[in-house]
Each structure stands twice: as C-alpha cells, then as structure tokens.
Chain A
C-alpha cells in the first residue's frame, strides 16, 4: 500500500513539475527570445539559446519552488547563455546585421528606399554598440527592454542598481561620441 502511495505521489509531483515548466515556456519564451536576439541578432541562434535555457530549468526543476521572480531568473539564465555563445563566436560583421535586419524589420508604411535607409541607420548604430565596453554595452542592451526595471537589470547582471545607472550614463555618452565620430568620418 505504501509502495502504491509513493509511486502515485512521484507521478503527481512529476506531472506538476511538467505543467509548471510548460507554463513558464508559454509565459516567458517570447521574452527570452527577444533578450537572446538582442545580443546574438540571429533568429536560429536566439531560438537555440531559449531552448538551452529551458533545458537548464528542466535539469533543476526541483528548485523551481524556491525561485521568487521567475522572469528575472529566466532572463539571467538566457543572458549567461547568450554571453557565453557570443564570447565563443567571432566578431559579427556589419554586413550580417544589415542582412538580418532587412529580414526581420517591419516594413509597414515604408517605401523600399526608406526601409533600406532605416536598415543602414540601425546597422551602423549596432556597429557602434559593439564598440562599447562590455559592461556598458550589457546595461544598454538590457535597458532597451521596457519590461525590465533598473532593479531587475541589476539582478540579472548581479550588480547594484546605482552601478547600473552609472554604467548606463557612461554608455549613452560613449554612444553619442561614437555616432558623432562616425558621422564626421564618412
């Protein structure tokens, strides 16, 4: 009798864990994909990173109950994965950004010329972002996500909120200088 009870309990617990994981996928897969894409800027790589993040969650699903903020926790996992992948990958050339942005940018209300100009502008901005120091770039990329507050960005990066703010300030100044320099030297 005891055997049956324990096996039923195990099955129920496993079912509950699977349901919780499926709910996390439904709720946060899109956010994680966008975070991954902002760093990797490639659809397939971003999707692979999301898959890997949820596989890590699956391996540590026993700890799901201890996590207070699942969103920040998941963003942190996928953030570490994409940074690791980016470190291993070669430097991304600007031409790749142009090609990928042409594919993914929304074309509503724009002529072909306007769209090409927008793609060119965005890719040159992204090339400048790549030139930023790692710390400043990371804060700048995460601050673009409206759903992440500075406290949450600090939690993802494992730093204090004040350092997030100071890094963001430095990143904006550096970006302005880089863009100005790029415009002055065609």
Chain B
C-alpha cells in the first residue's frame, strides 16, 4: 500500500515535469527576433535635448562653453528682471504711533464695549413678575431721626440760655 502510494506520487511528479518540460521546449515563433528588433528601433531611446531651431547641426550651440555662456545669460536676464521688480516695490512707511480705528458714531459717547443687544425672543418669552405697590408714608409726617435729635438739642440749648439771661427772683 505504502509503495503503491509512493509509486503514484512519483508518477504524478513525473507527469507534471513531463508536461512542463514539453511546454518549456516549445519553439519560439519564427521571426521573433526580427519583430523584437523592429520594436526596439521604433521605440524612443531616451530623453533628448530639444534642438534650438536657430542652431545649426555644427553651429556654435554645440560648444559646451557657448552653451554655458548662453545659460549664464538666461540666468542673468531672469535675475535682473527679478531685481527690477523688487527694487520698484515701495514699502509702506511704518507709523511712529499706532492709532486705534475710530468706531463710527462713537464720538462723545460711551462705547458698548462689544456688547450686543439680544432681543428677549431669542431666549424665549419672559413673563414679567407682578409688581407689588408699596405703601409709602407721606413725606410731611415722617420726621427723620436726625431731625428729632436736632430738635431736642435745640430745645435744651434754648432753655440754658433763658435761665442764664433771666435773673432768678428770690
């Protein structure tokens, strides 16, 4: 039984390898190399520097020194332009003292200090509490304590004066 299983396994592995080898040995289609080469020839090889239309094939642009000089001229032109723009910009003068902006209509009045008027309807209706009327005493009858005190003091003073001025009859 064990040997049978082993035999089956080896047969299975052999069958697999036979199939895969058969596929691996299949010949490539004719003309494959030519087609690949044609594809490579038509493919873009690499990134090229775009040719300047005014430069001829063997012209001055082929020289590395001249190319460097041209690049330097371009850099100078750009830097000069940038400096020109920068130098024409007028910087706003810095004020010596900072002034707060005046609120419209705030002259001669107290400010609201940012407080906002919020209507009552925003927080719901408010039921006003009934106001109780106080019984106020008439101002004529009411004598303040300091007046009573002053009246007592004045009476005492008058009595002492009168006793001193009038001689006693004995």
Residues of A within 8 A of B (CB): 3, 7, 21-22, 25-26, 29-30, 33-34, 37-38, 41, 43, 47, 50-51, 54-55, 58-59, 104-105, 121-122, 125-126, 128-129, 140-141, 143-146, 172-173, 175-180
Q: Does residue B151 face the partner (Cβ distance < 8 Å to A)?
A: no
Contact A104 B26 (CB under 8 A): yes
Contacts of B21 in A (CB 8 A): 144, 146
Q: Does residue B122 face the partner (Cβ distance < 8 Å to A)?
A: no
Contacts of A30 in B (CB 8 A): 27-28, 32-33
Contacts of B40 in A (CB 8 A): 21, 25, 54-55, 58
A145/B29 contact (C-beta < 8 A), A21-B40, A172-B16, A180-B8 known: no
Minimum CB–CB distance for B17 against chain A, Å: 7
Contact B26 A26 (CB under 8 A): no
A51/B35 contact (C-beta < 8 A), A58-B43, A175-B12, A175-B16 known: yes
Contact B29 A47 (CB under 8 A): yes
Residues of B within 8 A of A (CB): 8-13, 15-17, 19-29, 32-33, 35-37, 39-40, 43, 45-46, 58, 62-63
Contact A37 B26 (CB under 8 A): yes
Contact A34 B36 (CB under 8 A): no
Minimum CB–CB distance for B19 against chain A, Å: 4
13 A-B residue pairs with CB within 8 Å: A7-B62, A38-B20, A38-B24, A47-B32, A55-B40, A59-B46, A121-B15, A140-B16, A144-B17, A144-B21, A144-B23, A175-B12, A178-B12
**CA–CA, A51 to B82, complex, Å?**
50
Contact B15 A26 (CB under 8 A): no
Minimum CB–CB distance for A156 against chain B, Å: 14
Interface of B is mostly: helix
Contacts of A177 in B (CB 8 A): 9, 12
**CA–CA, A158 to B21, complex, Å?**
23
For A145, give the chain B residue with the smallest CB separation: B24
Contact A3 B12 (CB under 8 A): no
Contacts of B10 in A (CB 8 A): 176
Contact B32 A50 (CB under 8 A): yes
**CA–CA, A95 to B87, complex, Å?**
78
**CA–CA, A143 to B24, complex, Å?**
10
A47/B35 contact (C-beta < 8 A), A34-B28, A180-B8, A180-B12 known: yes
Minimum CB–CB distance for B78 against chain A, Å: 27
A25/B26 contact (C-beta < 8 A), A58-B43, A140-B20, A175-B12 known: no
Contacts of B58 in A (CB 8 A): 3
Minimum CB–CB distance for A60 against chain B, Å: 10
**12 further interface pairs, Cβ-Cβ under 8 Å (given A104-B26, A144-B24):** A3-B63, A25-B37, A34-B25, A41-B23, A43-B29, A55-B39, A58-B45, A143-B20, A144-B21, A172-B16, A176-B9, A180-B12
Question: Which of A7, A105, A129 contacts B20 (CB under 8 A)?
Answer: A129
Contacts of A126 in B (CB 8 A): 19, 23
Minimum CB–CB distance for B128 against chain A, Å: 79
